[in-house]
Amino acid sequence: MQTSNQTQEWGAFAKQCAQDAGELIERMLAGPLEVMYKSSASDLVTSVDRAVEQLITDAILQAYPDHGILGEEGIVTCNPAEFDTVWIIDPIDGTTNFVHQQLNYCVSIAVCHQGVCELGVVYDPTRNELFYAERGVGAFLNEARLAPPRTIKMHEMIFSTSLFWNRRAMQSGLSERAQRLAQRVRGTRVYGVAALELAYVAAGRLDAYLSLGLNPWDYAAGRLLIEEAGSIITQIDGTDIPFAARSSILAVNPYLYKSVLEFLETRPV
Ligand code: 2AM
Ligand code: CA
Ligand code: CA
Ligand code: CA
């Protein structure tokens, strides 16, 4: 169990790291952007992703040399399941948006202690919006506490997802069930930036977010934001999200969670 003083100190440090990352991103955007393929043309990494991961990691290891790092772009100093305190970092979530639009991307940082995430930061530098959650304390946007989730009916909801054309979701019938859900709601959105979409569910800008196959750096900080804001987050079949492993994600306003889950599970396709 962490003391709240210690978690607060980590929180202040994580916020500063995210803001420093934002400044580095903006500085680097003034120069040429080096874009590389990872596994395919739809799986990109840039020189900025790598520089940001290095910046954040160097700062953490200087301040907390005995902590572990799990970063998307290759800086992994520990097996998170066997380590005491682990920082889970997505230096740029939404890299495709970053490359094409220089908009709708964020920096995501979570700090987990003995398998439980204690704080999460999701920072959108272009809008200067910093979402912060601390376990047992709450969820905030730029120091203002997020409002509790609103009471809402299914026909009033909007949700974001990329499930409709996900190959695995199409094969399993999940895609068609999600489309039927889409026909019952006010609207759908596709932002392509998982951590920010989770922050938006926490903030009530979206009422749900659904995804398959997310990595811990995509959802760790957003998950705590959802929980501390009073919404519900599980895997897409309703089971608990594992620690620091690939997972599907179903994040929903608490008044809609049960009906969305039922819709995804039981409606005939
Ligand atoms: P990234 O930009 O950090 O890679 C895009 O729909 C969202 O899913 C982004 O948050 C993106 O993170 C993440 N993502 C990108 N490629 C993915 C993949 N192959 N599997 C799962 N998530 C992915
Ligand atoms: Ca990526
Ligand atoms: Ca990501
Ligand atoms: Ca990323």
Distance 43 CA to ligand 1 centre (A): 8
The ligand that comes nearest to the alpha carbon of residue 196 is: 1
For residue 123, what pLDDT is reported?
A: 99
**pTM (two decimals):** 0.97
Q: Which helix (H) or strand (E) holds 263?
A: helix 257-266
Measured by CA distance, the residue closest to atom 2 of ligand 1 is: 94
For residue 267, what pLDDT is reported?
A: 57
> The CATH number of the domain where 237 resides is what?
3.40.190.80
The ligand that comes nearest to the alpha carbon of residue 209 is: 1
Question: Which portions of the chain are predicted below pLDDT 50?
Answer: 269
Select from 55, 58, 57 the least CA-distant residue to 70: 57
* DSSP character at residue 154: G
Domain end residue (candidates: 97, 114, 145): 145
For residue 2, what pLDDT is reported?
A: 74
**Pocket flag, ligand 1, residue 213 (CB < 6 Å):** yes
> The CATH number of the domain where 65 resides is what?
3.30.540.10
Rounded to whole angstroms, how far apart are CA atoms 259 and 154? 8
Rounded to whole angstroms, how far apart are CA atoms 71 and 80? 11
Domain co-membership, 185 together with 135: no
Domain that includes residue 167, residue range:
154-265
For residue 256, what pLDDT is reported?
A: 98
Contact 178, 169 (CB under 8 A): yes
Domain end residue (candidates: 145, 175, 204): 145
Is 66 annotated for ligand binding? no
ipTM of the complex: 0.95
**Pocket flag, ligand 1, residue 54 (CB < 6 Å):** no
Domain co-membership, 141 together with 158: no
> Which residues lie at CB < 5 A from ion ligand 3?
90, 93, 218
Which amino acid does the sequence have at 150? R
pLDDT per position as a tens digit, 139-151: 999 999 999 999 9
Residue 210, strand partner residues: 161, 250
Tokens of 25: 């991103």
Domain co-membership, 62 together with 177: no
Domain co-membership, 139 together with 173: no
